[in-house]
Chain A
Amino acid sequence: MTGPRRVAITGLGAVCAIGRNAGETWAAMVEGRCGIGRIESVDVSGIRFQNGAEARGFDAAAHFDPQQLDFLDRFAQLALVAAREALADSGLRLTPELAERTAVYTGSCLGGQSTEDAGFADLYRKGRSSMHPLSVPRVMANAGASHISMELGLTGPACTFSTACSSANHAIGHAFWLVRAGHADLALTGGSEAPFSYAHLKAWEAMRVVSPDTCRPFSADRRGLVLGEGAGMLVLEPFDTAVARGARIYAELAGFGMSADAHHLTQPSSAGAARAMRLALEDAGLAVEQVGYVNAHGTGTRANDPSETRAIRDVFGPCADRVAVSSTKSMHGHALGAAGALEAVATTLALHHGTVPPTANFTSADPECDLDVVPNRARVLRTEAALSNSFAFGGLNAVLAFRARAGA
């Protein structure tokens, strides 16, 4: 073989506020349906914001028996369900040889924080003298990856990335490099998050970046982000292998770029974001002229959206006026360590179907966010390539580049 391998995306899984699987999630995105509503899993009467994007359609009992659930925090449940879906969707039959060459790379910002929150409440408030013995294995951030590998018998490299809002993109990008370089012949990769607990919501309240109503990325009257939960998973395999077995190839994962702002803990730097986008394009061998869609980080905060706009303008130059940019966080919320994974599913399907999802809840343009943000309605758009941005608190940026199957 000459040169690095091409990497195909052949399986998708998703669960979030707008769908119980990738198909439902995509259908909701095309409709521009917003999954944000009053938080039901936590008593939010004492919190300044009341809305979130909960995966209400997710029924754990339909996926796991009670014995399994004892071992699984909600974030690991979501990871497993999305991973099962992605693997089934790929049509792959795992042999012992392939299982040993299969990587499981997941992202999670918070791990099993709701298990931790409940355990601490019991200890400090109810005066219990001990923590549940399963607390540690339920809370560990790699629980998702570990349960996926155990259930599916995947014995290749497995690890978890925790880089706040970029966790899933870092996981997917590294899994992509692993498959491209030939260190693994298959990867199940993505991220999952379950951020709804009282203490965690109080922590976000104190940061004063959560919207009291809904998420309106790029709108002049945007009021902040809205937390979401869910998981997204992708199956990555060498392009030639996928073609040889007659697999459905949704798109190619073509490039990955990372950077650190080295600037501020919470204020984004457009220079760092731009650098990660440039590196992803370079890694993919793509020119900006080939990119028709950017799935934005697009949190809907005062700080992110203008900074991301400047970064896109910096990278795309005159092409910035003809690239479609949307934030699907307007529909599935900001799923933190799962955000990049849900957005990778969205970007993959956008290329596959030739339709870009909209920025929902859009009201009026902000001169500082003067891009084509695909307001409120999905758009038929066949394009050669797309980017998906994730920019984390702490200034850690991770950008994925995708290439459409057409012409492959």
Chain B
Amino acid sequence: MRMADPLVQTVLSAIAEVKHVPPEEVDLDASLADLGLDSLDTVTMLFELETRLDIAIPDEAAKSVRTVRDVVDGVRRLVESSPPQAATSAS
């Protein structure tokens, strides 16, 4: 099920890249704090997602994420509401 959702994969791999760990070590149900992401890691991870998915993540949305699932849900909303080429790159 994890494998079936490319957006989840993108988020997990962005987190993995920031923390320099294999993506399989990133648990979808973990909090960002549990994964060792501090504020600087979090903005770096969001930057990765903005670049890969061609989206813009507002500051307010960025501040509200606590868990990996929050990131997936928030990014999905942005991807679904963005112009077609952005949605394509995420699917």
Contacts and interface: CB of A to CB of B under 8 A. Distances in A.
A206 B47 CA distance: 7
B43 A206 contact: yes
A379 interface: no
Interface residues on B, range: 10 to 19
B59 A303 contact: no
Contacts of B40: 264-267
A63 interface: no
Contacts of B46: 208
A264 B59 contact: no
A5 to B, nearest CB: 43
B38 interface: yes
A119 interface: no
A271 B56 CA distance: 36
Given A208-B43, A267-B39, 10 more contacts: A48-B56, A48-B59, A206-B43, A206-B47, A207-B43, A208-B62, A224-B59, A264-B38, A266-B39, A266-B40
Nearest to A264: B38
B47 to A, nearest CB: 6
A157 interface: no
Interface of A: 48, 206-208, 212, 224, 264-267, 303
B84 interface: no
B36 interface: no
A224 to B, nearest CB: 8
Nearest to A206: B47
Interface string B26-47: 0000000000001110010011
Nearest to A224: B59
Contacts of A303: 39
Contact of B59 (A212, A266, A267): A212
Contacts of B47: 206
Task: Determine which residue in A48, A208, A212, A303 has the highest number of CB atoms from chain B within 10 A of its CB, and name it.
Answer: A208
22 contacts: A48-B56, A48-B58, A48-B59, A206-B43, A206-B47, A207-B43, A208-B43, A208-B46, A208-B59, A208-B62, A208-B63, A212-B59, A224-B59, A264-B38, A264-B40, A265-B40, A266-B39, A266-B40, A267-B38, A267-B39, A267-B40, A303-B39
Contacts of B63: 208
B74 to A, nearest CB: 14
Nearest to B43: A208
Contacts of B56: 48
Interface in B11-57: 38-40, 43, 46-47, 56
A225 to B, nearest CB: 12
A196 B33 CA distance: 34
Contacts of B58: 48
A208 B46 CA distance: 10
A48 B40 CA distance: 18
A266 B42 CA distance: 12
Contacts of B43: 206-208
Q: Identify which of B40, B47, B56 gathers the most chain A CB atoms within 10 Å of its CB.
A: B40
B64 to A, nearest CB: 12
A201 to B, nearest CB: 14
Contacts of B39: 266-267, 303
B17 to A, nearest CB: 16
Nearest to B50: A206
A199 to B, nearest CB: 15
A305 to B, nearest CB: 15
Contacts of A212: 59
Nearest to B56: A48
A267 B33 CA distance: 14
A195 to B, nearest CB: 19
A206 B46 CA distance: 9
A48 B38 CA distance: 22
A307 B7 CA distance: 37
B87 to A, nearest CB: 22
A373 B62 CA distance: 29
A368 to B, nearest CB: 16
A57 B58 CA distance: 33
A268 to B, nearest CB: 11
B33 to A, nearest CB: 13
B65 to A, nearest CB: 11
A45 B63 CA distance: 22
Residue with the greatest number of chain A CB neighbours at <10 A, chosen from B39, B43, B46, B58:
B39
A169 B20 CA distance: 37
A216 B59 CA distance: 17
A196 to B, nearest CB: 20
Contacts of B62: 208
Nearest to A393: B40
